């Protein structure tokens, strides 16, 4: 029974860490250019998650942005590695507009 309680405690701590991270990320997204990394996430055997190598996740993130407009909405579900690359790519494009200068999203 103690092992089960320890599992639940660890799970609850990770969920709180994630919620804190999510809240912080939402608060700082517009002002941050620091890239996120997969070190912030842990794989959960209970969740249906898809983990990709950085290169694959970047290709998927770029495909998600292909043809996107300011009215577009993108949801990344169960793919933390793709979310990280997409977020970093968006920050880079928002800051540098794809051409090395601050600006709008650019290709």
* Per-residue pLDDT tens digits for 75-97: 888 888 899 899 889 888 777 76
Q: How far apart are the C-alpha atoms of 71 and 30, rounded to whole Å?
A: 18
Residue 42 belongs to domain spanning:
33-96
Residue 67 lies in a domain: yes
Hey, CA dihedral for 89, 93, 96, 102, is it positive or negative? negative
Residue 6 lies in a domain: no
82: left (phi over 0), alpha (psi -120 to 50) or beta: alpha
Residue 55 lies in a domain: yes
Is pTM, for the whole model, over 0.85? no
Which one is predicted more confidently, 58 or 97? 58
Residue 106 lies in a domain: no
Out of 45-49, 51-55, 88-92, pick the least confident: 45-49
Residue 23 lies in a domain: no
Number of domains in the chain: 1
Burial of 80 from C-beta contacts in 10 A (0-12 / 13-18 / 19+): buried
């Amino acid at each position: 029974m103690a092992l089960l309680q320890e599992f639940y405690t660890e799970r609850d701590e990770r969920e709180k860490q994630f919620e804190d991270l999510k809240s912080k990320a939402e608060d700082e997204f517009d002002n941050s250019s620091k890239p996120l990394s997969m070190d912030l996430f842990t794989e959960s055997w209970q969740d249906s998650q898809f983990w990709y190598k950085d290169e694959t996740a970047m290709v998927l993130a770029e495909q998600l942005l292909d043809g996107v407009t300011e009215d577009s909405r993108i949801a990344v579900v169960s793919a933390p590695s793709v979310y990280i690359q997409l977020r970093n790519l968006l920050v880079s494009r928002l800051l540098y507009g794809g051409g090395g200068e601050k600006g709008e999203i650019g290709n």
